[in-house]
Structure formats: structure tokens, C-alpha cells
């Protein structure tokens, strides 16, 4: 089985690019952020604090997460319920970033992520895929762009979905998540030593995809 790991900060275009890449290679695209988001979602639904370790840990035994691929699109089932759309809000982004700092959460999600790599050819995106989850991935890409570029892309996406946000709030949120994700003690966001750095600052998504495809083609085929 072949695995491609794509890591990088929020808003770097990981999911868009990983999806296109997976479609082109006919691999399965696995979005691991959705798993952390689902845990954040559950904790909030329970009226608990996603930033409080004891609150989050007490929820884990009640949580069952399953990924299904329907028409090539990943769906996350939380205790049997499809929460794929509900986890896509700014509140759930921040909740995911908070719960992801707790070792028990990372341990809880480790096997589910690994099991896909054993069964399928995959493109998996996240923060620690190349460093921790799939250290033997055939190709590791660290995808990044300036915070301003990332915020602009995220802002445009949210406006398109009809969400009520300002660019400044999106930038602030993103900087806070960057800080959380790179400063946590366990599996912080950082490039794997053997990763290829792809910086998409100033590029459109299509140009970014072209850049990644060049890297992939030189390694995979």
C-alpha cells in the first residue's frame, strides 16, 4: 500500500490539494482534522470545555468514531450520526485545536488513522501524519503559505458558504490555531525531516496543485 502524507498549518490548502491528488492517483483521501473536530463537537454538545483535559478525557469512553467513504467523499460518523457538515464551523476548528493537545485524544485517534494506511492507498492530511502517524509514508509534503494568504483563502471559503465573518477575525483565529498546533507538547505541527516543503504563498489553488503534482510525479511514478 502507498501512503502520501500532507501536513501543514490551517488554511494552507491541504484538503483541496489532497483531494485533487487522491482523485488523480485514484487513492482514498483521509482528512484527519475531521476526527479531532468530531471530538471537539462531542465535548461541546455535552456542555463541557474542550480546553479542559479532565472534561475531554471523561468524554472519550462515550465516543465512537467511524469514517466511511461515500462517492469518494469522507463522512465522519460520531456514535452512528453523520456529523461531517456540523464540524465545519469556526467554533469546531478551535475546539479541535484545543482537544488535539491532549495525549489521550491523540492516542484515541491513532489506530483509526493507521488502519486506513494498512488497507488502502491513501493521501492523508493533518498535522503529524509524516512525523508520527505514517512515518514510513512514501512521500511527505509540508504545505504552507503566509498567514495572510491562508486567512484570505479561508475567509473567501466561509463567505461563499454564507457564514458571517470578517477577514480580521479569520486571521486572528488562524494565528491562534497556528500557535496552539505548533506549541503543544505532543506531536506538534512541524515538517518531518524527510518532507518536501511546498510554499503556496502568492499562488492560486490550481497553481498550488500543479506544484504538488510535479513533486508527486517525480516520486511516485
- Closest approach of Cβ 218 to ligand DC, in Å? 25
Shorter beta-carbon distance to ligand DC: residue 163 or 218: 163
Shorter beta-carbon distance to ligand DC: residue 13 or 126: 126
Shorter beta-carbon distance to ligand DC: residue 93 or 200: 93
Strand 196-199, strand 139-144: pairing: parallel
Buried b / exposed e across 120-147, counting CB within 10 Å, b at 16+?
ebbbbbbbbbbbbbbeebebbbbbbbeb
Binding residues for ligand DC, per CB under 6 A? 10, 32-33, 36-37, 93, 96-97, 100, 126-129, 177, 181
- Closest approach of Cβ 217 to ligand DC, in Å? 25
Shorter beta-carbon distance to ligand DC: residue 143 or 218: 143
Q: What is the DSSP string of 152-208?
A: HHHHHHHHHTT----HHHHHHHHHHHHHHHHH-SSS-S---TTPEEEE-TT--HHHH
User: Is-contact 119 1, C-beta < 8 A?
Assistant: yes
Q: Looking at the chain, how many residues does it have? A: 221
Please give the residue whose beta carbon sits closest to ligand DC in the complex. Answer: 33
- Closest approach of Cβ 127 to ligand DC, in Å? 4
- Closest approach of Cβ 22 to ligand DC, in Å? 15
Amino acid at each position: 500500500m502507498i501512503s502520501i502524507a500532507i501536513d501543514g498549518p490551517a488554511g494552507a490548502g491541504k484538503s483541496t490539494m489532497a483531494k485533487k491528488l487522491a482523485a488523480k492517483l485514484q487513492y482514498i483521501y483521509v482528512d484527519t482534522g475531521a476526527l479531532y473536530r468530531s471530538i471537539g463537537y462531542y465535548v461541546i454538545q455535552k456542555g463541557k470545555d474542550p480546553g479542559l483535559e479532565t472534561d475531554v478525557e471523561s468524554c472519550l469512553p462515550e465516543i465512537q468514531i467511524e469514517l466511511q467513504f461515500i462517492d469518494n467523499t469522507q463522512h465522519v460518523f460520531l456514535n452512528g450520526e453523520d456529523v461531517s457538515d456540523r464540524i465545519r464551523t469556526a467554533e469546531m476548528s478551535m475546539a479541535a485545536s484545543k482537544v488535539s493537545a491532549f495525549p489521550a485524544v491523540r492516542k484515541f485517534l491513532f489506530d483509526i488513522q493507521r488502519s486506513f494506511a494498512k488497507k488502502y492507498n491513501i493521501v492523508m492530511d493533518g498535522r503529524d501524519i509524516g512525523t508520527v502517524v505514517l512515518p514510513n509514508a512514501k512521500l511527505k509534503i509540508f504545505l504552507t503559505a503566509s498567514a495572510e494568504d491562508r486567512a484570505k483563502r479561508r475567509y473567501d471559503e466561509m463567505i461563499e458558504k454564507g457564514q458571517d465573518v470578517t477577514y480580521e477575525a479569520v486571521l486572528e483565529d488562524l494565528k491562534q490555531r497556528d500557535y496552539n498546533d505548533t506549541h503543544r507538547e505532543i506531536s506538534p505541527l512541524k515538517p518531518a525531516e524527510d518532507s518536501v516543503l511546498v510554499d503556496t504563498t502568492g499562488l492560486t489553488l490550481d497553481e498550488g496543485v500543479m506544484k504538488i503534482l510535479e513533486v508527486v510525479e517525480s516520486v511516485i511514478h
